[in-house]
Amino acid sequence: MILHPGVLALLLGGLVSLLMLSAGALLGIRIARRWNPDGAEADQLSLERRAWLVAVLVRWAIVFEALSLLLFIYTAEVIHPLFVGAMCATGTLNANPIGWHLIWIKLLLFLLGGLWMVLNHLDLQCPEAPLTRFKFIALIPFLPLAIADLTLMVIYFAGLEPEVITSCCGALFSSGGDGLASELAALPLRPMMIVFYAGLAAYGCLVLLSLLSRRPWMHYLLALASGLFLVLGLTAIVSFISLYIYELPTHHCPFDMLQRSSNFVGYPIYLSLLGATICGLVQAMLEYLCRIPGLSVITSRAQRPWLLMTLFFWMLFALLTGWPVLFGPLAMTAYF
Amino acid sequence: MRYLKILEYALASLLRRPGKTCAILVVYTLMIVVLASVLFLTQALKTEATTMLAGGPQLVVQKTMAGRHELIPVSAVEKLVEIPGVKAVKPRVWGYYYDALTGTNYTLQGFDTLANELSLLNGRLPREEGECAIGAGVARSRLIHLQDELILIDYDNIGRIFTVTGVFVSAADLLTQDLVVMPEGPLRQFFGMPDSLATDLAVEVYNPNEVDTIANKIKRSLPDSRPITQSELLRTYHAVFDWRGGMMLALFSSALMAFCILAWDKATGLSAGERREIGILKAVGWDTGDVLLLKLWEGLALSLLAFLSGCLIAFILVFWWGTPVLGGILRGWSVLFPALRPTPFIDFYQLGTLAFLTIIPYVASTVIPAWRAAVTDPDEVMRAS
């Protein structure tokens, strides 16, 4: 077990958010079962008051979980000198491979949490609160995820042994090795670049078209495209964007760009990619909720700002990933 | 705009209750001071250790026998120089001396083995037998100065007199605090160490990336040796300081819990005036969400103020005042402590960690009281008052 201050902060944050989420989710499920929006008796009034408590508890827990994702990645970066063979967060995560599962659990909590916050915001805007039952039932998947998050975090940090020799990113993300990371690193450069930039352009066009047209299927398509865009973006980062950022034709690590040596450029890149994905997914949710009576005005009014935000994050991601490729000192023409 | 108006109201509401605000603010700030001092000091010690080791040899080779450190034959130098990539190998003569008079341990070092740090000296380096240069800590503990005499008992229990020709300045404290330097020959005589043996060998390598490979080759060439690389030492120091800092934080977690209970209690115990205030706010049109926002702003303003002032006080304590209490616990156990004057720095990761450790528990413990206040029924409150 490594008793690093960052590790203690993560465990404390994980415990607090789990307590808040479990209290919120359990209370939320109880409220959802007895919720009767048409009733005006004392019981319903008390449920409405408790609904506020659930909303506040869950909102804070989601904020803590989102911050915990950032702190986890940065802590993995900071403690890498403690492990023989580690050069960045990859080495720390490899030192106890459970860490990789933690990343996707935290990412999922981040994405689902973002969507739940939007749902809660819409519900609070409408006096009839038509989404209350739905938003509380939607809390059910959060509970196992938060439990898994804290449990895995404890197992991960307890299992970190500084004397175990770990492998660095150069070994894991090398085109010659086995596994998904190596497969991604070994993708042919030219076709991958064509696919990524074509996808980027298509996604941008789709956002613009959604802004101009109000067709429902367009918004569902955008949400689907956002999911694909996330996968494509992550693949491209490992495959070739990393090469241009490090100015090295063989270094594919997706974590080194979070270090000071790369001016922390990884943070805006990942946040813009995740931001575009969440904003894109929100479109489908808004479109679906449009059908609920009492919500159509609020949701249709909310669609435009969310589309503009998707466009902003898309532009930021395109700029951050396009700049080193177009204007960086590394020329990969010999590898095409 | 609505948010700013509520923030303005929240700040005014905090100022209207100075007693209650101050009570929680003082305890909150004190807790942040303690935790921030631990974090800052741990980081400062790690930085100091890194700087200190940077001037040392890249690789040190010790001989071991039965698992214990042994003196290494000087003849091993020839074997090591032949390894490709090795630039130079220097035998070092040094050892420890327990001074029964002051109850302290000194480090006695042979003159040839010191590198750059010798420039930080008042006076001159010893040139012949019977002369020595000492660290500021030794001078203080023995109450001696330049040109005074230092009496040390040698391996044969015979007192030897050395004239102090130089005293290291305090800027080099971390390296030289407990140091006594003399030429190698007299030191060998003092310890009774034969010329054919040395304490260890310092190896210089052309390419720093090859240090680990060369350490492996040395281990193969001299199986009874233990090569210690600079990066290994650094990793150990980092792990030790992190562990000590973590232990301190874990110990202070009980204080954190006590603070959370206090915060909960203070937030729950609404006075009749506060209840009436919330009742009136709701009667004039504020809804539960607005009151929750008001309480959120109050909590955040208080947290931010406590956080900033706590960090500032900790910063002054650690980097200016030299951490009077915590320093001794975190640095280690020794009689002659070097004065620690770490280079001031601000690390945003540390501040983030600190915020996670302090603000999250505070927010979590005030959520339910804030909600209780927010759902107050105006009708009930007005009737009660």
Q: Least CA distance to B295: which residue of chain A?
A: A56
Q: Which of residues 188-207 of A touch B (CB under 8 A)?
A: none
Tokens representing B277 are 């205030």
Buried b (16+ CB within 10 A) or exposed e, B157-173: eeebebebbbbbebebb
Task: Name A212's Cβ contacts closer than 8 Å, sequence gap at least 6.
Answer: none
> What's the gap in Å between the CA of A301 and the closest CA on chain B?
20
Q: Least CA distance to A66: which residue of chain B?
A: B356
- Interchain contact A162–B (C-beta under 8 A): yes
Tens-place pLDDT, residues A301-332: 888 899 999 999 999 999 999 998 888 888 77
Q: Which DSSP letter does residue B375 get?
A: T
Task: Name B97's Cβ contacts closer than 8 Å, sequence gap at least 6.
Answer: B105, B106, B107, B108, B152, B180
Q: d(Cα B6, Cα B14) in Å, to the nearest integer?
A: 12
pLDDT score for B170? 62
Helix ranges (H only) for chain B are 2-16, 18-54, 76-81, 136-142, 173-176, 184-191, 211-221, 230-268, 272-283, 288-319, 326-331, 348-374, 378-384
For residue B314, the chain A residues in CB contact (below 8 A) are: none
Lowest mean per-residue pLDDT among A83-97, A171-185, A238-252: A171-185
Task: Pick from A56, A264, A267 the residue to mutate for testing the B interface (most B CBs within 10 Å).
Answer: A56
- Interchain contact A103–B (C-beta under 8 A): no
How many residues comprise chain B? Answer: 385
- Interchain contact A10–B (C-beta under 8 A): yes
Pairing verdict, β B59-65 and B225-229 = antiparallel
- Interchain contact A82–B (C-beta under 8 A): yes
Q: Residue B140: what residue type?
A: R
For residue A49, the chain B residues in CB contact (below 8 A) are: 288, 375
ipTM for the assembly? 0.84
Average pLDDT over residues A169-179: 68
For residue B38, the chain A residues in CB contact (below 8 A) are: 5
Q: Angle at Cα B367 formed by Cα B27 and Cα A138, nearest 5°?
A: 150
For residue B371, the chain A residues in CB contact (below 8 A) are: 52-53, 56
**B367 contacts A82? CB cut-off 8 A:** no
Helix ranges (H only) for A79-178 are 89-95, 98-125, 132-137, 142-158, 169-172
Task: Name A7's Cβ contacts closer than 8 Å, sequence gap at least 6.
Answer: A75, A79, A157, B246
Tokens representing B304 are 């931010």
Q: Least CA distance to A60: which residue of chain B?
A: B364
pLDDT score for B336? 56
Kindly calculate the radius of gyration of chain B based on its CA atoms and give it in whole angstroms. Answer: 30
State the virtual CA torsion across A42, A46, A47, A48 in degrees, nearest 10: 100
SS3 B90: strand
**A56 contacts B371? CB cut-off 8 A:** yes
Tens-place pLDDT, residues A107-164: 999 999 999 999 999 888 887 788 888 899 999 999 999 999 999 999 999 988 877 7
Helix ranges (H only) for B55-111 are 76-81
pLDDT (tens digit, 0 to 9) for every residue of chain B, 385 residues total?
Answer: 788 888 898 899 888 888 888 988 999 999 999 889 888 888 888 887 787 777 778 899 999 898 888 899 999 898 888 998 889 898 999 999 988 888 888 889 887 645 444 556 778 888 888 889 888 888 888 888 888 999 999 988 898 999 998 888 766 566 677 889 888 888 999 999 999 999 999 998 888 888 888 998 998 988 888 999 888 888 888 888 888 888 888 888 888 888 888 888 888 777 777 888 888 888 888 888 888 888 889 999 999 999 999 999 999 888 887 766 666 666 655 555 555 667 788 888 889 999 998 999 999 888 888 888 888 777 777 776 5
Using left for φ > 0, alpha for ψ between -120 and 50, and beta otherwise, residue A331 falls in beta
Choice between B193 and A89, residue whose per-residue pLDDT is larger: B193
- What Å distances lie between residue B182 and B103, B113, B158, CA to CA? 21, 10, 17
Task: Name A58's Cβ contacts closer than 8 Å, sequence gap at least 6.
Answer: A20, A21, A24, A25, A28, A116, A120, A139, A142
Q: Which of residues 17-46 of A touch B (CB under 8 A)?
A: 19-20
Q: Least CA distance to B369: which residue of chain A?
A: A53
**Is the C-alpha dihedral spanning B20, B25, B28, B33 positive or negative?**
negative
> What's the gap in Å between the CA of B235 and the closest CA on chain A?
5
Buried b (16+ CB within 10 A) or exposed e, B334-349: eebebebebeeeeeeb
Q: d(Cα B281, Cα B299) in Å, to the nearest integer?
A: 19
Task: Name A259's Cβ contacts closer than 8 Å, sequence gap at least 6.
Answer: A77, A88, A266
In whole numbers, what is the pLDDT of chain A averaged over residues?
87
- Residue B82 and residue B203 in contact, taking contact as beta carbons nearer than 8 Å: no
**A3 contacts B247? CB cut-off 8 A:** yes
**Is the C-alpha dihedral spanning B261, B264, B268, B269 positive or negative?**
positive
* Residue at token pair 């702190």: A71
Q: d(Cα B305, Cα B299) in Å, to the nearest integer?
A: 10
**B350 contacts A5? CB cut-off 8 A:** yes
SS3 B150: strand
Tens-place pLDDT, residues A247-286: 888 888 888 888 888 888 999 999 999 999 999 999 888 8
The backbone torsions φ and ψ at residue A84, rounded to the nearest 5 degrees and listed phi first, read -70, 125
Pairing verdict, β B159-168 and B121-123 = antiparallel
* Residue at token pair 């150990």: B236
**B289 contacts A8? CB cut-off 8 A:** no
Q: How many CB pairs under 8 A join A and B?
A: 91
**A67 contacts B356? CB cut-off 8 A:** yes
Helices B230-268 and B211-221 cross at an angle (nearest 10°) of 120
Task: Pick from A2, A7, A16 the residue to mutate for testing the B interface (most B CBs within 10 Å).
Answer: A16
Chain B positions contacting chain A at CB under 8 Å are 38-39, 42, 234-235, 238-239, 242-243, 245-247, 249-250, 253, 288-289, 292, 349-350, 352-354, 356-357, 360-361, 363-364, 367-368, 370-371, 374-375
- What Å distances lie between residue B375 and A125, A333, B265, CA to CA? 18, 65, 18
pLDDT score for A148? 95
Pairing verdict, β B104-110 and B179-182 = parallel
pLDDT score for B121? 74
pLDDT score for B116? 46
Give the DSSP per-residue string, A253-311: -SSGGGSGGGTTTHHHHHHHHHHHHHHHHHHHHHHHHTTSTTTHHHHHHHHHHHHHHHH
How many residues comprise chain A? Answer: 336
> In a 10 Å sphere around its CB, with 0-12 CB exposed, 13-18 middle and 19+ buried, how is residue A61 labelled?
buried
In whole numbers, what is the pLDDT of chain B averaged over residues?
84
Tens-place pLDDT, residues B24-60: 899 999 999 988 988 888 888 888 778 777 777 889 9
Q: d(Cα A56, Cα B373) in Å, to the nearest integer?
A: 13
pLDDT score for A55? 92
Q: d(Cα B247, Cα A300) in Å, to the nearest integer?
A: 53
pLDDT of residue A2 exceeding 80: no
- Interchain contact A8–B (C-beta under 8 A): yes
Q: Angle at Cα B262 formed by Cα B261 and Cα B264, nearest 5°?
A: 65
pLDDT score for B317? 86
Q: d(Cα A281, Cα B285) in Å, to the nearest integer?
A: 35
Q: Least CA distance to B355: which residue of chain A?
A: A9
Task: Pick from B295, B371, B380 the residue to mutate for testing the A interface (most A CBs within 10 Å).
Answer: B371
**B38 contacts A5? CB cut-off 8 A:** yes
Choice between A276 and A173, residue whose per-residue pLDDT is larger: A276
Tokens representing A122 are 């819409």
Average pLDDT over residues A4-24: 92
pLDDT score for A99? 87
**Residue A214: which pLDDT band, with cuts at 50, 70 and 90?**
confident
pLDDT of residue A47 exceeding 70: yes
**B242 contacts A4? CB cut-off 8 A:** yes
**B39 contacts A9? CB cut-off 8 A:** no
For residue A64, the chain B residues in CB contact (below 8 A) are: 360
